Amino acid sequence: MSSSLLFADIDQQPALAAVRVLVVEDEPLYADQVESMLLGMGYETVGPAASAQVAMALYRTEPIDLVLLDIGLRGPTNGLQLAEQLLAHSPVPLIFLTSFSDEQTFQLAQAVGPAAYLTKPAVADTLHRAITLAVKNFASSTWPAPDASPQPGPAQAAADSVFVKENGLLEKVHLRDIFSIVADNKTCSLTLAERSIPVRMSMRELARILPAERFVQIQRSYFVNVEHIERLDPTRLLVQVGKQVLPVGRLYLPELISRLRTIG
């Protein structure tokens, strides 16, 4: 499908997609209650997942904006362990929803770095506010904060280029030639005009090298070069970068728009 067809009839498209929440809860009745509550507040739900295995499978295959996770998940992998696995795979705002209110469990959960810690039963207003803050704070902290005292090294050798190891050689790649970056677990692909170059680095590691003023995140696993953006459809959540038409996560749309010089 051509990019012109993908971007046709913008005014006739539906409103922006809702935040997609992965619900991880092994109590079927309570999972249904939480799902109904989220749908009533205008969110989309993924799952519910009753096990860590199902949750991870959904997380890897579905676009997820936020995870609502029960700490007391039964099975070989509990909620705290699952949270660490999810965040290690790729960052996303995560809210614990649990019946544990003791200080020890809270301290263990706090170490994982959740966006919020809520006790059951969930209250609609409290949950909505927690999700709103989690989404807002995550979207505003996409890029890692720069080190207070950056140390000189190979990564700072040239501000406008990087050297990429490929087939045993170090190849110089100008940042202006990179159209997009796609992450897959601990590997990233740099998309150039005519080819892609695999890099054995996680997105978080690579983001510390690439200049934030040139690249902007459009989804959990995508960065694009602002200079190569041709068109943006904020309704269908699509952006054209060179010949690529890529999906834009709703959480990242405000930052993307703010990076574009617009008139009219």
CA 173, distance to chain mean position in Å, is: 26
Digit-coded pLDDT (tens) for 133-144: 888 787 665 444
Q: Which domain holds residue 189?
A: 154-258
pLDDT digits (tens, 9 = 90+) for 1-33: 444 444 544 333 333 447 889 999 999 999 999
How much is the pLDDT for 140? 60
The pLDDT > 70 percentage for the chain reads 84
Spatial separation of the C-alpha atoms in residues 207 and 145, rounded to whole Å: 10
| 43 backbone dihedrals φ, ψ, rounded to 5° | -90, 160
Q: How many domains does one find in the chain?
A: 2
Q: Identify whether the C-beta of residue 21 lies closer than 8 Å to the C-beta of residue 65.
A: yes
Question: CATH number, domain at 102?
Answer: 3.40.50.2300
User: Predicted confidence band at 156 (pLDDT cuts at 50, 70, 90)?
Assistant: very low
Same domain, 59 and 131: yes
Is there a domain that residue 102 lies in?
Answer: yes
Question: Mind listing the pLDDT tens digit for each residue in 188-203?
Answer: 889 998 888 888 877 7
> Buried b / exposed e across 15-37, counting CB within 10 Å, b at 16+?
eebebbbbbbbbbeebbeebbeb
pTM over 0.75: no
User: In whole numbers, what is the pLDDT of the chain averaged over residues?
Assistant: 81
Same domain for 125 and 160? no
Statement to judge: residues 119 and 176 lie in one domain = no
How does pLDDT run across 177-190, given as a tens digit for each residue? Answer: 999 998 876 788 89
Does the pLDDT value for residue 52 go beyond 60? yes
Shared domain check, 46 and 105: yes
The yes-or-no verdict on residue 152 having pLDDT over 70 is: no
- The answer for residues whose C-beta is within 8 angstroms of residue 74's C-beta and 6 or more apart is 26
Reduce the DSSP state of residue 15 to 3 states and report it: coil
- Are both 54 and 120 inside the same structural domain? yes
Contacts by 222-227, CB closer than 8 A, 24 or more apart? 222/180, 222/181, 222/182, 222/183, 222/246, 222/247, 223/180, 223/181, 224/179, 224/180, 224/181, 225/175, 225/176, 225/178, 225/179, 225/180, 226/259, 226/260, 227/176
247 domain residue, yes or no: yes
pLDDT band at 149 (very low <50, low <70, confident <90, very high): very low
Non-local CB neighbours of 88 within 8 Å, separated by 6+ positions: none
